[in-house]
Chain A
Amino acid sequence: MIALNALVAICLCYVTFLFAVAFVAERAARRGQVGWLRSPLVYTLSLSIYCTGWTFYGAVGYAARSGLEYITIYLGPSLVMLGWWWVVRKMVRIGRTQRLTSIADLISSRFGKSNLLAIGVTILAVIGTTPYIALQLQSVTLSFDVFARASGEAEQLPSAIWVAIGLALFTVIFGTRNLDVNERHHGVVMAIAVEAVVKLFALVAVGLFVVWGIGGGLGATLDKIDQSEIGAWQVEGGRWAGLMLLSAAAFLCLPRMFQVMVVENDDESHLRTASWAFPTYLICMSLFVVPIAVVGLDLMPAGSNPDLFVLTVPLSQGREGLAILSFLGGFSSATSMVIVAAIALSTMVSNHIVMPIWLRFTNDGATVSGDVRNVVLLARRLSIVGVVMLGYLYYRLSGGGNALAAIGLVSFTGVAQVLPVVLGGLFWRGATRVGAFAGLTIGFCIWLFTLFLPSVGPGVLISTTVMDQGFFGLSWLRPQALFGIEGLDPLMHTLLWSLSLNTVAFFAFSLISFPTPLERLQGAQFVNIFQHSSGVRSWSAGVAQSEDLMIMAQRILGAREAQALFSRAAQKQGVSGNLPEPTPGFLELLERELSGSVGAATAHAMIGQIVGGMSVSVQDLMAVADESAQLMEYSARLKEQSDELSRAARQLREANQKLTRISVQKDAFLSQISHELRTPMTSIRAFSEILRDGGQLTEAEQTKYASIIHDEAIRLTRLLDDLLDLSVLENGQVSLNLRHDSLRDLLDRAVSSALADEEGAGLRIRRDAGHEDVPIYTDPDRLTQVFINLIANAKKYCEAAHPELEIRVGRRGDWVFVDFVDNGLGISPEAQDVIFEKFARVSDQKAGGAGLGLAICRQIMTRLGGGITYLKGERGAAFRIELPTHLSMAAQ
């Protein structure tokens, strides 16, 4: 008999071999030689982690106890893979497009990146998977036990703890080598593929030995089967269909299956190969189960454990080599399951539970200094150890008895609660977060109450009183006879009630709740994934800081990768330097990259912390809507363009009109100037000709003509002075001579200067001495010029018999008003608009000036920071001057 130590040595050699395989594959992948690592065959073999130690050993035991029922566990997944076009293909495409990291991530991402849902699914997965890991540990321990008993060394049993530690170590080393889950664990996948070959080879070898070595050929074995105690079809109909459904659901929803099927998938086309290759693998795995069971029942003493026939039958025939091979097969099945399950669960736990908590408890969240990568990796490593140890703990607590054997299907049922939500999320856009949460909660509670708690054993977690009389003594709440329906198989009872009520709740709450915009967006993207494989933009990046994003990305992706990503994006945007603009497109890309490392919900939260808010614009929604919406978007874009064109055309038209107006003004100005210059010139020429030609002019006439010429020359000079003044003022070239002065002094000066000549005596000025005492800081000369002009105008144009001018002064805050109101007829309304324009004269009869006075006044007042307006509604002509008491320097 083989010594236990030798077996341990073989086991260690095998594990070393696996380490080597994983190591070589990792290294090849790092060198870029991934061709053979990414073959469809490796993908198909990696799917075989569905066949765990429980199926390797347990299927034979199952067959020995209940005949062909065991086969349903393989038929369900076969149907799923044969029908890959329906669900699996969509799941893989979504997983790759959205960079999903786990089944919890899928659900959270679909329902608006809700972290609550992710946590719920994670907890469900941990509770559902822990017993399963315990089962694997048990199967390894039991198989050691078989050899130990055979060699009589029962005391030296290697503890399950060593198996657990070894598995945790392997998983930590190869499962957390790189952070980005989407970069795939080539080493692990390769090791699993090798283990898949080993377990298949082992089971087929035992099967061939049993059929041809013991059974005496195919025909003889079939006869033997018919004569055995399981020789007739005895499967209960409900269980047959129910288990097929259950195993199909579990195949889609198990975290470890999602890990190898979606996350580790390199190429969608591998699915096509797997669609027929994986069922083939399952056929080979299950083909010899019944013969082994029958031969085992025949050969082994009554009462021996049928779960271990795969080992004990070869041993009883003295085939130690075959037994060791079979042992390695079982060992492979158990270890590969634990490794992948630990990776999948640790990803979920670290992404959905540890990281959100860590982000919340580090005050400044995503912008805290330090490398988040280490935190994530550490969280993942600790989660792996935690998950495996939880499995071990469960194994110790449950005592490793027969209770464990049934836990496989219990586990399946728990995980299958995710199915309605996953399928609803993939195919129904109306599914909402509230619905998903309600469905999962109800399904989980029913499963817990009716199957999981009772499964540990009567009276352990749930009292026998509750089992017999129902919760709170309500008979319709008995765990194994809900609503008073008795006589169902407990598993089918739970499956029926949990899945149906789960689905009903999911639909009902989805129908009555209203999804958030992000949910609708994600929903449209998931359901129409084949129409919209490209992403949508959802971040509004007004306030996002590229630098902050860069710092955060560096800490998650690593400095080099993040810089490469940023500079690539910058290049694409045509921005110089390494920091791209935080456009929605770039943020979308970044979020997806990050979600490959820390999961969708966390990545979303981290970018949200930096960017601030997110918006789902109408355009976003349109981008994922159906074709009509796409057409609408297209036409909207066209309309936008044509709007822009017409805006530009309107602006051009306006500019053109302005230019035309200015040109007309310029022409008018020139003709006015030439007219104004021409009139005095004409009279000067005429009178100077008379003086030149006429000899017989009297002294008085000569003097009169000469003085006319003189007056006209003065008028000409004044006109030119005014023009010069105006152009200087208009060009802003005038320099103000700012001083402190009193308004009263200025008015005094203006009045005396304006009324200096003999005409001035006709105009009476009424002043308001009390209010005039206002200190001002301005250019007194310029302001006096304005006053003089206004007084002179009143003197010149006031038609009243006794002309009077009232000067009123008022203050409002820092502003002072000076009103000049005469008692004439005023200015006609149509003339009021133009009096401040150049060459505007109200009447021609008293044409004394060139019509530039008020235009100059306005320019001066503008320069002084104030203004001049015509006051309507006064008795006669009234002008108001407003100016700040203290002209600030800024106003210049």
Chain B
Amino acid sequence: MTDTTETARATVFLERQTYRRRRLVDAARLVPILGLLLWLVPLLWPTEGDSRTSMSTAIIYLFGVWIALVILKFFIALPLRNASSEARDGQE
């Protein structure tokens, strides 16, 4: 309703900072999808015969992905923290 909203919506090019922030949000959204894909990889592993994946490999893979995701998330969340008070937090 206010003028600022209207102009902000009309703008095609955003400030560099706002642009960065939006891409960070995109990244934050993609992390769980990446995680899901990586964690579904074990479904492809053979469960019969000699080529079965050993337990230790499975543990290292699953926890490795897990830790990597957490670290990734940590580095995404860190800059988001500073910009959190922005009024247009919810806009896509």
Contacts and interface: CB of A to CB of B under 8 A. Distances in A.
A244 interface: yes
Interface string A75-119: 100111011111000000100000000000000000000000000
A634 B74 CA distance: 43
A86 B45 CA distance: 30
A464 interface: no
A234 B52 CA distance: 8
Interface stretch (A272-280, A361-369, A686-694): A272-280
Interface in B19-46: 25, 28-29, 31-33, 35-36, 39-40, 42-43, 45
B29 to A, nearest CB: 5
B17 interface: no
Interface string A243-276: 0100000000000000000000000010011011
A560 to B, nearest CB: 33
Task: Say whether chain B's binding surface is mostly helix, strand, loop, or mixed.
Answer: helix
Interface in A362-402: none
A287 interface: yes
Contact of A226 (B33, B56, B90): B56
A232 B53 contact: yes
B53 A240 contact: no
B43 A233 contact: no
Interface residues of A, number: 47
A222 B56 contact: yes
A737 B80 CA distance: 91
B35 A67 contact: no
Contact of A233 (B55, B67, B71, B77): B55
Contacts, number: 110
A634 B3 CA distance: 12
Given A233-B52, A237-B43, A82 B69 contact: yes
A241 B29 contact: no
Contact of B73 (A71, A226, A276): A276
Contacts of A223: 56
A225 B1 contact: no
Contacts of A531: 90
Contact of B54 (A79, A232, A273, A280): A232
Contacts of B18: none
Contacts of B29: 83, 85-86
A279 B62 CA distance: 13
Contacts of A701: none
A290 B73 contact: no
A83 B81 CA distance: 16
A530 interface: yes
A226 B54 contact: yes
Nearest to A531: B90
Contacts of B43: 237, 240-241
Nearest to A240: B43
Contacts of B9: 627
A231 B55 contact: yes
Contact of A280 (B47, B52, B70, B81): B70
B77 A276 contact: yes
A530 B28 contact: no
Given A222-B56, A232-B54, A283-B63, A530 B89 contact: yes
B32 A232 contact: no
A635 to B, nearest CB: 11
Contact of B55 (A82, A230, A237, A634): A230
A884 to B, nearest CB: 60
Contacts of A232: 52-55
B23 to A, nearest CB: 13
B91 interface: yes
Indicate the member of A82, A231, A273, A530 with the most B CB atoms within 10 Å.
A82
Contacts of B14: none
Interface in B52-88: 52-59, 62-63, 66-67, 69-71, 73-74, 77, 80-81, 84
Contacts of A276: 70-71, 73-74, 77
Nearest to B88: A530
Contacts of B66: 75, 78, 279, 283
A273 B31 contact: no
A235 interface: yes
Given A82-B35, A226-B55, A233-B45, A279 B40 contact: no
Interface string A850-891: 000000000000000000000000000000000000000000
Contacts of A753: none
B67 A68 contact: no
Nearest to A282: B66
A283 B71 CA distance: 12
Contact of B59 (A68, A93, A235, A272): A68
B16 to A, nearest CB: 21
A630 interface: yes
Interface in A270-322: 272-273, 275-276, 279-280, 283, 287, 290
Contacts of A85: 25, 28-29
A233 B25 CA distance: 36
B64 to A, nearest CB: 11
A244 B70 CA distance: 18
A273 B77 contact: yes
B53 A71 contact: no
Contacts of A222: 56, 59
B55 A67 contact: yes
Nearest to A271: B77
A78 B56 contact: no
Contacts of A269: 81, 84
Contacts of A241: 40, 43
17 contacts: A68-B55, A82-B31, A82-B73, A83-B32, A85-B28, A86-B29, A226-B56, A228-B55, A230-B55, A232-B53, A232-B54, A233-B53, A240-B42, A276-B71, A279-B69, A280-B70, A631-B1
The 8 closest A-B pairs by CB, nearest first: A530-B90, A83-B32, A233-B53, A276-B73, A222-B56, A232-B52, A276-B74, A82-B32
Given A78-B35, A240-B40, 9 more contacts: A75-B39, A78-B69, A85-B28, A86-B29, A222-B56, A225-B59, A273-B77, A275-B73, A530-B89
Interface of A: 67-68, 71, 75, 78-80, 82-86, 93, 222-223, 225-226, 228, 230-235, 237, 240-241, 244, 269, 272-273, 275-276, 279-280, 283, 287, 290, 529-531, 533, 627, 630-631, 633-634
